[in-house]
Amino acid sequence: MLEFSKDNFSSLAEAKAYPYTVNTKKITEGVCKQFLLDYENFPCIITNVEGNPVYPNKWAHMRAIRNDLQNPYSSIIDVMMTRLESNGHFEIDVDTQAGLANIMLAHSLEDVLFKDINEVNAFLDLTNLTTKPYQDKTQADWDALDAPEPVEQAVIYNANDYEIKTGSQGFEFDITILDGSTDNIFDVRLETCEVDQGQHDINNWFEINNAFTPVRQGKGNMFKWFIDGSSKRTKTYNRFYFTPRKACEFSVSVKVV
């Protein structure tokens, strides 16, 4: 599926109209019935002496064949309808025995239920589900594609060692919004490193997944965020990374408290 981007679409209207088709490898009971009831495009092929259809649609014709136990195709139709009724769908998959059997069953109904091979193929093509994944996109969504990507920013406590050192201390972060933007949310990522006799391997940092809940921007251009010193998520060496949900210019400073 094409990504919603201005590289793939020249306008919002084009993106909203973009069709995406997936082969579901099955025909649902509802879709099957809708097809068989479509008299205008797929009328009943059995006519009387006046040339008029005997049945109002293929669905009625199909049920009549099923109920006529003298009809040699009654058992085939019964298998087809039973699978639809019991499973809610009719499997059409060349990679499975059941799917292949159903495809063969559909072809066996050419000149019986379906007029010709084109109608058989139209029936089998009901496995293709087409949607418009971007039809609910708005002008705001389209304009937002021009916005810069949010940038992750590392918080540095000791510029020489580029990590925050702590024992049992807590942290106080001052977050300053530099471009006047509002209503932002910051995701906080934490990397930690243990120590061994006062030394640590600078390449042995590991990330603590979901360490903190996102930080919501407070009122004004500057707000604070605290981490309690007893937090078991922090280790001897810690690095914090802030990423805004919406791109903005900001700075973060920290002190041990």
* Mean pLDDT computed over 13-23: 96
Does residue 178 register a pLDDT over 70? yes
pLDDT of residue 81: 92
CATH class of 147-256: mainly beta
Q: Give the start-end residues of each E strand in 98-248.
A: 128-131, 153-155, 164-165, 171-177, 185-193, 206-208, 215-216, 222-227, 237-244
For residue 18, the tally of other CB atoms under 10 A from its CB is 18
Separation of alpha carbons 241 and 191, rounded Å: 8
Q: Which residue, 89, 91, 65, is CA-closest to 77?
A: 65
pLDDT digits (tens, 9 = 90+) for 40-58: 889 889 888 888 889 999 9
pLDDT of residue 203: 63
pLDDT digits (tens, 9 = 90+) for 78-99: 999 999 999 899 899 999 999 9
Q: Could you state, in order of their start, the residue ranges of all structural domains in the chain?
A: 12-131, 147-256
Q: Tell me how many degrees the CA angle 215-220-255 measures, rounded to the nearest 5.
A: 55
pLDDT of residue 165: 60
